[in-house]
Chains A and B, each alone.
Chain A
Amino acid sequence: MIKEITCIGCPMGCRITAEMDGDKILSIEGYTCNIGKKYAQEELTVPTRMVTALMDVYGTTQPLSVKTSQPIEKSKIFDCLKEISRHTVMRPVHIGEVVIKNVCGTPVNIIATKELE
């Protein structure tokens, strides 16, 4: 299978084409530097993203901003968002505080990114 991605290493935005066999990379073409090669290898095997989201807070309409403690697999982004939207937190909350443990059964936690008294 042929996969195409755009490198985010710099503003060049090289189009990188890779021949894949399932999760295995057979060949990569189109990158013009090592940053691109490394990016493509990660992005093609297990693409991950940091997710930032908003969480309901008891007693106010103002939401709490949160993030994943580390990047999670791209395919789990919307499950992760769904789980966050099912929770409501109590004040006070401080930056770095864990508000959901092991989101979607992963080792990743959801942590607060805002001070809320």
Chain B
Amino acid sequence: MRNVDILIIGGGPAGLAAAVSAYEAGARNILILEREENLGGILKQCIHNGFGLHTFKEELTGPEYAQRYIDKVVEYGIPSQCDTMVINITPDKVVTAVSRGAGLEHFKAKSIILAMGCRERPRGSLATPGWRCSGIYTAGTAQKFTNLKGLMPGKRVVILGSGDIGLIMARRMTFLGAKVLACVELMPFSAGLKRNIVQCLDDYDIPLLLSHTVVDIAGRERLEGVTVAEVDPKTLKPIPGTEQYYECDTLLLSVGLIPENELTTMAGVKISPATNGAEVNENLQTSVDGIFSCGNVLHVHDLVDFVSEESAKAGVNAYKYVQGQLPEDKETLEVVNGFGVSGAVPQHISKKLDEPITIMFRPRGVFKDAKVCIDVGDVQAAEKKSRILTPGEMVTLKFNPEYLQKNANADKITVRVEAQQS
């Protein structure tokens, strides 16, 4: 059994940023375990630009952004083991991993940072009828084919769901010579960023069909076409008589991301039903002492810049924990999701909070001319105005320690939206 001070699971943007910041804080016994052949995670296949505006004040492509962190990891001499799959974590922080090179290995960690990221919701979760023909991929799988393997998944494409990866793939497939017939979205609004809708769909005259869904899939060996119907925006049920058939050989799914928390559960960490990630406090520490969580495995982010920022914090705190400098604090206030708010992170804030922290959440719907309020107990401590809130864009709020003094008897903190839903 090998002893490691800080064991980081996952070598994507979260794991890399955590490793770099832990090293810069003083940690010297760090190890990154990565399942794939190379470090960099999903950024390796995100060859479009737009990464790094917050972190580096310039727009980079995914591989360039990842390389900045990989270069640091190499410069600092932080060890990483790729091609290594972690298969178990115990609550007392013994980690079991398998790899071709070393076989079965056990690590005893003083602290663990969970940075496994997320995966895409698959076809099976949609309950769409039809044969299991080829030609149906998640958008990210198609992205891996085109951008990393140099393979083309198909020529006539329909995209179901308007998440950012789907939008990005609409443009990529167009660039590579395919015809993208439509992007079909169940909800009356897109889950993607406005910029991506304009620059990936509008620029190439690809129609975005809001309040529509795929109701049937034709083709037995290979996909032959899909039937798209309009849905009632309230019930989300297809409206009979609105069906339209699109002849296509490829259907890409961009219907949501799920944090990959099997290992987290094994470690006995409490999972939040709102984020499908671990419950954490303001130090990003989970319910198990010394286990931290950050990045998309904690909650799905829009921007990698915020993943890096969050993970850097986890790295520093993991080091503080190893040094015995992270105050053990059992007295916390629960953060409650109020009206219009879902998945606020962190879920717990210490009553002895002494520096400002960030609360992040996703709005439950589209709200115009809205106010986001933070209540400590039943006293409103802060508010922030926003012209528009949409589920596609994560909201970040600053929480100052002074807020807690406004109501010393408070038993909870509520984050809520004040607005008319549009």
CB-CB nearest 3 A-B residue pairs: A65-B47, A8-B195, A113-B61
Shortest Cβ distance from A65 into B: residue: B47
With an 8 A cutoff between CB atoms, is A11 at the interface?
yes
Establish whether residues B388 and A52, one from each chain, have CB atoms under 8 Å apart when the complex forms: no
* Distance of A5 Cα from B49 Cα, bound (Å): 22
Establish whether residues A52 and B203, one from each chain, have CB atoms under 8 Å apart when the complex forms: no
With an 8 A cutoff between CB atoms, is A1 at the interface?
no
Shortest Cβ distance from B168 into A: residue: A52
Could you name 23 residue pairs across A and B whose Cβ atoms are closer than 8 Å? A5-B198, A6-B197, A6-B202, A10-B387, A11-B388, A11-B390, A11-B392, A11-B393, A12-B388, A32-B387, A49-B199, A50-B49, A50-B59, A52-B49, A54-B176, A62-B150, A63-B147, A65-B47, A65-B147, A67-B49, A95-B67, A113-B61, A114-B47
* Distance of A113 Cα from B148 Cα, bound (Å): 13
Q: Mark B388-422, 1 if CB is under 8 A from A, else 0.
A: 11101100000000000000000000000000000
With an 8 A cutoff between CB atoms, is B146 at the interface?
yes
Answer whether A52 and B48 are a contact pair too, CB < 8 Å, given A13-B194, A62-B149, A81-B175: yes
Q: Mark B307-328, 1 if CB is under 8 A from A, else 0.
A: 0000000000000000000000
Answer whether A61 and B149 are a contact pair too, CB < 8 Å, given A11-B388, A13-B194, A95-B67: yes
Establish whether residues A113 and B47, one from each chain, have CB atoms under 8 Å apart when the complex forms: yes
Establish whether residues A115 and B387, one from each chain, have CB atoms under 8 Å apart when the complex forms: no
Establish whether residues B202 and A95, one from each chain, have CB atoms under 8 Å apart when the complex forms: no
* Distance of A39 Cα from B59 Cα, bound (Å): 18
Establish whether residues A12 and B387, one from each chain, have CB atoms under 8 Å apart when the complex forms: yes
Contacts of B61 in A (CB 8 A): 52, 65, 67, 113
* Distance of A7 Cα from B193 Cα, bound (Å): 12
Establish whether residues A10 and B388, one from each chain, have CB atoms under 8 Å apart when the complex forms: yes
With an 8 A cutoff between CB atoms, is A101 at the interface?
no
* Distance of A45 Cα from B198 Cα, bound (Å): 17
* Distance of A62 Cα from B67 Cα, bound (Å): 18
Contacts of A87 in B (CB 8 A): none
Apart from A11-B193, A63-B147: 11 A-B pairs, beta carbons within 8 A: A8-B195, A11-B194, A11-B388, A11-B389, A54-B146, A61-B151, A63-B150, A65-B47, A65-B61, A81-B175, A113-B47
Interface residues, chain B, with chain A CB atoms under 8 Å away: 47-49, 59-61, 63-64, 67, 146-151, 175-176, 193-195, 197-199, 202-203, 387-390, 392-393
Q: Nearest-CB distance from A87 to chain B (Å)? A: 14
Q: Mark A82-117, 1 if CB is under 8 A from B, else 0.
A: 000000000000010000000000000000011100
Shortest Cβ distance from B393 into A: residue: A11
Number of interchain pairs (Cβ within 8 Å): 73
* Distance of A62 Cα from B59 Cα, bound (Å): 24
Shortest Cβ distance from A57 into B: residue: B150
**Of A8, A54, A61, A115, the contact of B47 (CB 8 Å cutoff):** A54
Most buried by A among B59, B60, B194: B194
Establish whether residues B202 and A61, one from each chain, have CB atoms under 8 Å apart when the complex forms: no
Establish whether residues A115 and B147, one from each chain, have CB atoms under 8 Å apart when the complex forms: no
* Distance of A53 Cα from B147 Cα, bound (Å): 9
Contacts of B63 in A (CB 8 A): 65, 95, 113-115
**Of A8, A11, A32, the contact of B199 (CB 8 Å cutoff):** A8
With an 8 A cutoff between CB atoms, is A74 at the interface?
yes
* Distance of A115 Cα from B183 Cα, bound (Å): 33
Contacts of A53 in B (CB 8 A): 175
**Of B64, B202, B387, B390, the contact of A113 (CB 8 Å cutoff):** B64
Contacts of B388 in A (CB 8 A): 10-12
Answer whether A8 and B194 are a contact pair too, CB < 8 Å, given A61-B149, A95-B67: yes
Contacts of A52 in B (CB 8 A): 47-49, 61
Establish whether residues A54 and B64, one from each chain, have CB atoms under 8 Å apart when the complex forms: no
Q: Mark A1-27, 1 if CB is under 8 A from B, else 0.
A: 000011110111100000000000000
* Distance of A54 Cα from B392 Cα, bound (Å): 28
Contacts of A113 in B (CB 8 A): 47, 60-61, 63-64
Establish whether residues A54 and B49, one from each chain, have CB atoms under 8 Å apart when the complex forms: no
Q: Nearest-CB distance from B192 to chain A (Å)? A: 10
